[in-house]
Amino acid sequence: MATVKTWLLVAAERREFDGILERFGASERLNWPLEFARQAYYRGDRYVMVAHGPGRRLVEKALEKRIDVDGIVSTGFCGALDPALRVGDIVTGAGAIYCADRVIVSAAEKRALRERTGAAAVDMESAAVAEKAAQWGVPFHAIRAVSDAAGEDMPLDFNLYRDQDGRFSRGRIALAALARPFARVPALLRLDRNARIAARSLGDYFADCRL
């Protein structure tokens, strides 16, 4: 009889799991002190999904206590640095993803980061998740979906709307968008659409792959 393996999937925001949850089907809420924690069984394996906000500090808070798992996956969205990548493309492997401590806002920043690091994409959590996997002595995977292309600027400098722990204030972002509605609101809606595409891509990927 095959042994059930438990995989811990770590993302920043709950919405990054939308596509995975849709493909996995039934899931169960976990009563953990995190913004989001659910588990689902799919193809005989158990998947624990947690999200507690963006950045290293919030990853460390989410994973303060060791969980008995067979491996950890850093997942969710990423920004493309490679101009060949398109929204919804999947990027895997820690070496392909540069982990930044802030949102990379402009196409010019992305281009400079690509030239300096050679990375294909950028996120804010993978390095911290990889370190936790090493501490726990379990395999690590990075599986991300592109939500903004290399040539795209962000509609706002989201770094300006983070609290002391690094969480984004949706209320402050909405107010900033309304200050210049004709320019910023359509751009935010486009970013939201891209996020939905990325989430569906992640769902398709996890539904078809075996870790």
Which domains are present in the chain? 6-208 (3.40.50.1580)
Beta-carbon count within 10 A of 188 CB: 18
Tokens of 39: 């588990």
Give the C-alpha separation, 72 to 206, whole Å: 14
Q: What is the pLDDT of residue 194?
A: 98
Q: What is the pLDDT of residue 2?
A: 64
Q: What is the pLDDT of residue 86?
A: 98
Q: What is the mean pLDDT of residues 5-13?
A: 97
- How far lies 109's CA from each of 32, 76, 89, in Å? 37, 21, 20
What are the tens digits of pLDDT across the range 38-54?
Answer: 999 999 999 999 999 99
**H or E stretch at 73:** strand 71-80
Minimal CA–CA distance to 208: which of 123, 92, 121?
A: 92
Q: What is the pLDDT of residue 94?
A: 86
pLDDT band at residue 127 using 50, 70 and 90 as cut-offs: very high
Q: What is the pLDDT of residue 210?
A: 80
**H or E stretch at 71:** strand 71-80
Q: What is the mean pLDDT of the chain?
A: 95
Q: What is the pLDDT of residue 164?
A: 85
Inform me whether the pLDDT recorded for 1 exceeds 70.
Answer: no
What are the tens digits of pLDDT across the range 174-210?
Answer: 999 899 998 899 999 999 999 999 999 999 999 998 8
Minimal CA–CA distance to 184: which of 146, 145, 144, 157?
A: 157
Tell me the CB-side half-sphere exposure of residue 153, using CA atoms within 13 A.
8
What are the tens digits of pLDDT across the range 153-179?
Answer: 999 999 999 988 889 998 999 999 899
pTM of the model as a whole = 0.95
